[in-house]
Amino acid sequence: MNTKYIDLINQTFDFPQDEFKVDKGQLHFHDIDLMQLTEQYGAPLKFTYLPQISNNIMRAKKWFADAIEKHDYKGKYNYCYCTKSSHFKHVLNEALKNEIHIETSSAFDIDIVERLKEEGKITNDTFVISNGFKRAQYVTNIARLINNGHKNAIPIIDNYEEIDLLSQEIDGKFNVGIRIASEEEPKFEFYTSRLGIGYKNIVPFYKSQIANNKKVELKMLHFFINTGIRDNAYYWNELLKCLKVYTSLKKICPTLDSLNIGGGFPIKSSLAFDFDYEYMVDEIINQIKLTCEEEGVDVPNIFTEFGSFTVGESGGAIYEVLYQKQQNDREKWNMINSSFITTLPDTWAINKRFILLAVNRWQDSYERVLLGGLTCDSDDYYNSEQHMNAIYMPKYNKDKPLYIGFFNTGAYQETIGGFGGLQHCLIPSPKHILIDRDADGNLTTQLFAEQQKSEDLLNILGYGIENKDTRIKIASLSENVT
């Protein structure tokens, strides 16, 4: 009988895979010997394998280039990176090696764009697409970028006031896009997304606020489907509705020449992941072309804003199983030396699934377990709810440490988890390692951040502040109190 963990994985999945291999009972990810990494830096640790960012950008660019050629599509394709999925400089530095553009979502994002411009990584030719609900600081920052000559900045109008707010601060003429508020999937709690302007209101909005406005040119129509780009009736239906708005607008707005289909490319969340990216891109280009032909308008340039797809598959987390608690005859809890809630918050918040594999002991027999985090919160666990199937791991043995890895965790987990900030139950953020390849293709590692220390957390909590009285007396308030 095949009872080893390696047999289980081989029988359940098509294994090994491009990025996962096993050598002498230990897992390698993109040829990184994960046990060696763990021995060098210690667990828990998080890592970013930077080359995967460029790999994915190049893959997507190729799918679009192939589809554009096949359909003799006359528009251009522009890959934008959605910075909110990971704002780290090392991520942007890697992504920007690939002639891409940027999508921003808030005021401080523009400060990042300006920093990258100072370093020559972004130029005035780089499209900066600014999404999000725009309030004073964001408007001011976008205006500053445009006033300083960034001709390819395109703020995407999200509500009816933004054109006025931007016009007050931008010196000359400027380009805008409009975001369509998509209809949510039927099972959602509400019908229409709060982001953007409803389908029916787009053409009237254009006529009343843009058509006769000498300062503003409409360049882009933007739409983003919350549930992502999927081959289902809902997605294709929403795309067609959006294309109808595009063609109606195009007939009355000659400056409109771009369609932004947002983010939402899925990433590999299991070893059984199966998504035909090439087919989806091909069909999207085909649908856009057909609709434009039917309506007799020129096809648009296409923009995407992939966040997860750009950076998700570069990240991973490794934990040590500290101890096993058998709470009844069926439930064995493998306790990890960190917290799921704080280090992989999407597992807790939206039941998100990541690839989970043992890092070592693949030649050992396995058992069914639940995985528990270190906080005292009963929701700090990872189990079959997220994982779909039961979790099997090499059998716990207190004399043979077990390390487990979560993969493709590179998007959103640091920002949502508040990297370097306060943590639930004060369980510190793990150290973070950057992995790259040098000019000869050799792997390099670099410590990006140490594991949080007690004083880091205590400082945030106010214990680091000197004990001097800095209170300001509110004079008028105390005078009025009789």
Ligand X SMILES: Cc1ncc(COP(=O)(O)O)c(C=O)c1O
Here's the x/- map for ligand X, 191-210, by CB under 6 A: it reads as --------------------
| The only residue of 109, 162, 282, 305 in contact with ligand X, by rule CB under 6 A | 305
- Applying CB under 6 A, which part among 117-125, 142-150, 307-315, 430-438 lies near ligand X? 307-315
Backbone torsions φ then ψ of 4, nearest 5 degrees: -85, 155
Q: Is residue 262 part of the contact set for ligand X (CB under 6 A)?
A: yes
Chain positions 91 to 130 lying near ligand X, rule: CB under 6 A, are 103
- Applying CB under 6 A, which part among 169-177, 235-243, 256-264, 421-429 lies near ligand X? 256-264
How far is residue 105's CA from residue 131's CA, in Å, rounded to a whole number?
A: 5
CB-nearer residue toward ligand X: 75 or 307: 307
Smallest distance, Å, CB 80 to ligand X? 8
Q: Is residue 308 part of the contact set for ligand X (CB under 6 A)?
A: yes
Q: Write out the E strands in 66-215.
A: 77-82, 101-104, 128-130, 153-157, 174-181, 197-198
How far is residue 462's CA from residue 55's CA, in Å, rounded to a whole number?
A: 43
| The only residue of 44, 177, 307, 410 in contact with ligand X, by rule CB under 6 A | 307
How far is residue 185's CA from residue 348's CA, in Å, rounded to a whole number?
A: 22
CA atoms within 13 A on the CB side of 34: 36
| The only residue of 26, 52, 56, 85 in contact with ligand X, by rule CB under 6 A | 85
Smallest distance, Å, CB 104 to ligand X? 10
Q: Is residue 345 part of the contact set for ligand X (CB under 6 A)?
A: no
| The only residue of 309, 333, 403, 407 in contact with ligand X, by rule CB under 6 A | 309
Q: Give the DSSP per-residue string, 292-323.
A: HHHHT-PPPEEEEEESHHHHGGGEEEEEEEEE
Smallest distance, Å, CB 116 to ligand X? 19
Instruction: Of 331, 347, 323, give the one whose Cα is nearest residue 406.
Output: 347
Q: Is the dihedral of CA 454, 459, 464, 467 positive or negative?
A: negative
User: Residue 349 is inside which H or E element, if any?
Assistant: helix 345-349
Smallest distance, Å, CB 307 to ligand X? 3
Question: Which residue's Cβ lies closest to ligand X?
Answer: 263
Q: Is residue 82 part of the contact set for ligand X (CB under 6 A)?
A: yes
| The only residue of 51, 228, 401, 420 in contact with ligand X, by rule CB under 6 A | 228
Here's the x/- map for ligand X, 128-147, by CB under 6 A: it reads as ---x----------------
Smallest distance, Å, CB 445 to ligand X? 26
Smallest distance, Å, CB 249 to ligand X? 19
Q: How far is CA 234 from CA 183, 184, 291, 472, in A?
A: 9, 9, 17, 57
375-407 burial, b if ≥16 CB within 10 A, otherwise e? Answer: beeeebbbbeebbeeebbbbbbeeeeebbbbbb
Q: Is residue 177 part of the contact set for ligand X (CB under 6 A)?
A: no
Question: What's the full length of the chain, in residues?
Answer: 482
| The only residue of 155, 264, 394, 417 in contact with ligand X, by rule CB under 6 A | 264
CB-nearer residue toward ligand X: 82 or 157: 82
Instruction: Of 68, 98, 31, 145, give the one whose Cα is nearest residue 445.
Output: 31
- Applying CB under 6 A, which part among 134-142, 206-214, 263-271, 426-434 lies near ligand X? 263-271
What does the block give as tokens for 204? 């009237």
Smallest distance, Å, CB 84 to ligand X? 7
Q: What is the CA 227 to chain-centroid distance, rounded?
A: 13
User: What is the dihedral angle through the alpha carbons of 336, 337, 340, 344, rounded to the nearest 10 degrees?
Assistant: -120
Smallest distance, Å, CB 352 to ligand X? 12
Other CB atoms closer than 10 Å to residue 327's CB: what's the count? 10
How far is residue 175's CA from residue 216's CA, in Å, rounded to a whole number?
A: 6
| The only residue of 155, 263, 315, 345 in contact with ligand X, by rule CB under 6 A | 263
| The only residue of 29, 224, 235, 333 in contact with ligand X, by rule CB under 6 A | 224
How far is residue 48's CA from residue 60's CA, in Å, rounded to a whole number?
A: 20
| The only residue of 29, 206, 306, 403 in contact with ligand X, by rule CB under 6 A | 306
Q: Is residue 341 part of the contact set for ligand X (CB under 6 A)?
A: no
Smallest distance, Å, CB 304 to ligand X? 8
- Give the number of residues in contact with ligand X, rule: CB under 6 A: 16
Question: Tokens 């890697």 identify what position?
Answer: 94
Question: Tokens 């079959």 identify what position?
Answer: 384
Smallest distance, Å, CB 357 to ligand X? 23
Enumerate binding residues for ligand X (CB under 6 A): 82, 85, 103, 131, 224, 228, 262-265, 305-309, 411
